Amino acid sequence: MYKGYRRAIVLFIVIAMVFSSFTAFGSSNELDEKMDELERIQKDQKQTEERLAQAKQQEKSVTEELRVIEEELKEAENKLAGLERQLQHVRSDIVVVQNELAEAEENVTVRNELLAKRIRAIHEKGTVTYLEVLFSATSFSDFVSRYELIQQIIRSDAEILEQVREERARIEEAKRKLEEKRAELVGLSEAVENERRTVQARASSRKQLLEKIQGDKESYEKALDELEETSKKLESIIRDLQSRNTSPAPSEDGLVWPLRGRITSPFGMRVHPIYGTSRLHTGIDIAGSTGTPVVAADRGVVILSGWHGGYGYTVIIDHGGGISTLYAHHSSLLVSRGEQVQRGDTIARVGSTGLSTGPHLHFEVRVNGTPKNPVNWLP
Mean pLDDT of 37-47: 78
pLDDT for the residue numbered 320: 86
Q: Which domains does the chain have, with CATH numbers?
A: 27-246 (1.10.287.950), 248-379 (2.70.70.10)
Q: What is the pLDDT of residues 325-340, one digit of tens each?
A: 999 999 999 999 889 9
Give the model's confidence band at 249: pLDDT under 50 very low, under 70 low, under 90 confident, else very high: low
Torsion sign over Cα 127, 129, 132, 133: negative
Compute the radius of gyration of the chain from its Cα atoms.
Answer: 50
Mean pLDDT, the chain, rounded, equals 77
Q: For 279-290, what is the mean pLDDT?
A: 90
Angle, helices 128-135/2-125, rounded to nearest 10 degrees: 60
Confidence of residue 265 (pLDDT cuts 50, 70, 90): very high
Q: How confident is the model at residue 133 (pLDDT cuts 50, 70, 90)?
A: low
For residue 3, the model assigns a pLDDT of 43
- Residue 315 pLDDT: 94
Q: How confident is the model at residue 291 (pLDDT cuts 50, 70, 90)?
A: very high
Between 252 and 315, the higher pLDDT residue: 315
Position with higher pLDDT, 182 vs 304? 304
pLDDT digits (tens, 9 = 90+) for 171-197: 788 778 878 877 887 887 788 788 888
Answer for the pair 328, 362: CB distance below 8 angstroms, yes or no: yes
Report if pTM > 0.75. no
Q: Mean pLDDT check: name the lowest of 25-29, 259-263, 303-307.
A: 25-29
* Residue 5: predicted pLDDT: 38
Half-sphere exposure of 233 (CA within 13 A, CB side): 8
Q: CB-based contacts of 164: which residues, under 8 Å, 6+ apart?
A: 104, 107, 108, 111
Nearest-5° Cα angle at 237, 235 to 238: 60
pLDDT of 228 higher than 90: no
Contact 350, 360 (CB under 8 A): yes
Q: Give the SS3 label for residue 327.
A: strand
* Res 246 pLDDT > 80: no
pLDDT at 351: 97
Judged against a pLDDT cut of 70, whether residue 125 lies above it is answered with no
Judge contact between 354 and 312, C-beta under 8 A. yes
Q: Residue 360: what pLDDT?
A: 96
- Cβ–Cβ < 8 Å for 247, 297: no
Asked if residues 290 and 359 have their Cβ atoms less than 8 Å apart, the reply is yes
Q: Is it the case that residue 344 has pLDDT exceeding 90?
A: yes
Place 20 in a pLDDT band, splitting at 50, 70 and 90. Answer: very low
Q: What is the pLDDT of residue 119?
A: 58
- Which tops the pLDDT comparison, 29 or 118? 29
- As separate numbers, helices (DSSP H) first and strands (DSSP E) second, the chain gives 3, 13
Better-predicted residue by pLDDT, 88 or 283: 283
The CA-based angle 273-277-282, given to 5 degrees, is 70
How far apart CA 259 and CA 315 sit, in angstroms, is 14
Q: Determine the average pLDDT of the residues in 220-241.
A: 69
Least Cα distance to 307 among 325, 328, 323, 291 occurs for 328
Give me the pLDDT at residue 130, please.
55
Who has greater pLDDT, 310 or 128?
Answer: 310
pLDDT score, position 283: 92
pLDDT for the residue numbered 122: 54
- Ranges of beta strands (E only) in the chain are 263-265, 268-271, 278-281, 284-287, 293-295, 300-307, 313-320, 323-330, 332-333, 340-341, 346-349, 360-367, 370-372
- By C-alpha distance, which of 359, 332, 322, 162 is closest to 247? 322
